[in-house]
Structure 1
Amino acid sequence: MEAFEEALAAGTQKAGASKVAHGIIVAAIDSSGEYIYQNTAGYTSVQPGALPVKFNNALVMASCTKMITTIAALQCVDRGLITLDEPIGQHLPELSNPQVITYDSASEKGPCAFKLNPAKSEITLRQLLNHSSGLGYDLGEPVLEAWRESRGETPLSLSARVVDAFSTPLLFEPGTKWVYGSGIDWAGLLICRLTDRISLENYFIDNIFEPLGMTSTTFHLWFKPEIIPRFIQPAYRLPDGSLIPGILPYPHPPADEYGGNGLLSCVPDYMRILHDIISPTPVLLKPETVALLFEPQFAQGSGSMSNLYMHQALFENSAGGHIGDLKINYGLSALLMMEDVPRTGAKRGTLAWGGLPNLMWWANREHGVAGMYATQVIPHSDKKNTELFALFQKSIWKMIEK
């Protein structure tokens, strides 16, 4: 670990100094639940006088929320409330009879003229979880932004209730391609309807947080006011490498409890999730259901695989850098490494994902190891943090191979 610790110390200078990597928390755990490594560096803010980071500092978890929602959805499968491959329209009528949007960028009617046609098939839970349903985010997707504009609306992702925010046309026929979108947000609402819960947090408390002893995780600060003083403040990386105080693009209080993002938590709590999915005796799911998380979802040569590679900028930080032609696939809700990764040392079968403010995690069930690198720096895929994460993961793999 010496090389990583030297790089970590060099990258987290005194609060208020230039070119810092900001506060960082790292941890790795084995299948027995024992920490094999944990460390912190830097400060809770880039402002002078900020406090040193502690292991239990609170974080905006962003898309790290997706794995927790996926586990909750699979609990519904375990209980026989739904299957992965049946149409979900019975429970989510808003998504029954979906329409696919197509557009002609050269149309005389405008830069993004579009048409809506009935989809040839229905959406399934599996497609919601592996992002092959056709549901995208309306923010940053030109054709969906044009569709919103035609209705006199602005993009609603993150700023409205789930049904209003994510009731958009499909970008393609269900199951034919891949796009990072609102599928897991819809899965959160599906969980509430299947289990007769008034909120997703209500379900999480009884079925995930309390069984695992997660005491610092919530969608709502009024539920956990004690974590407020523990937050690491966001920072924004400038082109010269320095950091200034930043703001994350998430409203507080949240517009809704999104299954795809929005949880507030800390590394010790999230490591309980990662431990459970590599444990030989998981608490939350049946072992055979946990195995589904690590199962490749897409056939080689499929449209989904093609789109996955096309969108690799979304997740290359979770792989420790540019993917290139590295053999990958997608599990349920996360990237799946189909071969060893030289840059990070990750072994084949490693599942990995993260969250916008340069949160990155990985888990390998076969080798019984999982880890997390956490900070609160934007923009996404910050080079300095991606490189430190890659070095951290490589150091852990070397440690367990000795």
Structure 2
Amino acid sequence: MCVGLLGRCGVAQSASVLEQYHWRFVGPDEGAQIQFATASADIVWRGSFQGWTDTRPTEMMSVSKSITAFAVMRTMQLRPADWHPDKLVNEFTVGAWSAFSNLALSGSSKKFNVTIGQLLMHTSGLPAIMTAVDLDAVRRQGLCFEPGKGWSYSIGHRLLGWLLRDYWQKSSVQAAFEELVYKPLGMSSTNFANWFTKFFFLAEAGDGGITSTAA
């Protein structure tokens, strides 16, 4: 919750220096009291969100990556023959996935395909294309390095969100997540953060922010 709120408010300090984190919900009037500090206990940020309660919907950045990973693992459990880490995503016949193949490697004539596991672990070689709205836009960008030979923050979880949507034949990534994660866990107040998706990713994604409650 706090990372999302602070991220949206533009806290300047790098996350790497925030070694200590303290959070305490006092009550409806006082709200949540939050403190970030370095490993040497130097206070980086301290504040409170008055009126915040554990049932108030709160926007959280990047949490959907974890939810996407849970949805992928749940699908692996339900459909192990179709879903496993070494499965090439272009082997899926749903949607346009069979055409998502022979991805060009930058600075080389070589071409590669990527696996579910590589998308999950940010080792696919795909770049972080924040405004990509479909598979073709991602395919045209190609690869930064040979899949499995490096690590770089990428668009992998967004692709997995789209793949889950297409595989389970749902109208949206949200609908796929509801069936695989939200409903089984009773997360009835969780959905994609509209402000984050609309203005940053330009498309519903498996790697954007969500809105949820602590209850």
TM-score, normalization by structure 2: 0.68
Structure 1 residue 186: deviation in Å? Answer: 0.5
One of 69, 92, 102 as aligned partner of 1:97:
102
Instruction: Tell me the SS of whatever aligns to 2:191.
Output: coil
Q: Which residue of 2 aligns with 1:261?
A: 208
Q: Which residue of 2 aligns with 1:183?
A: 156
In structure 2, relative to structure 1, the CA distance for the partners of 1:62 and 1:94 (3 Å cut) is farther
One of 120, 123, 129 as aligned partner of 1:132:
123
Tell me if 1:53 matches 2:52.
yes
In structure 2, relative to structure 1, the CA distance for the partners of 1:75 and 1:179 (3 Å cut) is same
In structure 2, relative to structure 1, the CA distance for the partners of 1:56 and 1:254 (3 Å cut) is farther
Percent of aligned positions with the same letter in both sequences? Answer: 27
CA distance in 1, matches of 2:90, 2:66: 23
CA distance in 2, matches of 1:99, 1:125: 18
CA distance in 1, matches of 2:202, 2:169: 21
Instruction: Tell me the SS of whatever aligns to 2:68.
Output: helix
One of 21, 32, 36 as aligned partner of 1:40:
32
Structure 1 residue 26: deviation in Å? Answer: 3.7
CA distance in 2, matches of 1:195, 1:249: 25
Amino acid across the alignment from 1:265 = S
Indicate if the aligned counterparts of 1:201 and 1:219 stay in contact, CA closer than 8 A: yes
Structure 1 residue 75: deviation in Å? Answer: 1.8
Query: Larger Cα Rg: Structure 1 or Structure 2?
Result: 1
Query: What CA deviation, in whole Å up to 9, does each residue of 1:275-302 have, x standing for no partner?
Result: xxxxxxxxxxxxxxxxxxxxxxxxxxxx
Indicate if the aligned counterparts of 1:65 and 1:261 stay in contact, CA closer than 8 A: yes
Structure 1 residue 127: deviation in Å? Answer: 0.2
Q: Which residue of 1 aligns with 2:37?
A: none
CA distance in 2, matches of 1:191, 1:250: 18
Q: Which residue of 1 aligns with 2:179?
A: 206
Q: Which residue of 2 aligns with 1:161?
A: 133
Structure 1 residue 55: deviation in Å? Answer: 2.7
CA distance in 2, matches of 1:175, 1:255: 28
Structure 1 residue 249: deviation in Å? Answer: 6.4
Aligned length: 169
After TM superposition, the structure 1 = structure 2 runs for residues 2-401 of structure 1, keeping only pairs within 5 Å, are: 26=23, 40-41=32-33, 42-44=47-49, 51-78=50-77, 79-80=79-80, 81-91=82-92, 92-102=97-107, 116-119=108-111, 121-138=112-129, 157-158=130-131, 160-163=132-135, 166-167=138-139, 168-219=141-192, 251-252=198-199, 255-268=202-215
Structure 1 residue 250: deviation in Å? Answer: 5.1
In structure 2, relative to structure 1, the CA distance for the partners of 1:185 and 1:201 (3 Å cut) is same
Q: Which structure 2 residue ranges, 5 or more long, are not aligned?
A: 1-20, 25-30, 34-46
In structure 2, relative to structure 1, the CA distance for the partners of 1:211 and 1:66 (3 Å cut) is same
Amino acid across the alignment from 1:134 = G
Structure 1 residue 211: deviation in Å? Answer: 1.0
Q: Which structure 1 residue ranges, 5 or more long, are not aligned?
A: 1-23, 28-38, 45-50, 103-115, 139-156, 222-247, 269-402
Instruction: Tell me the SS of whatever aligns to 1:57.
Output: coil
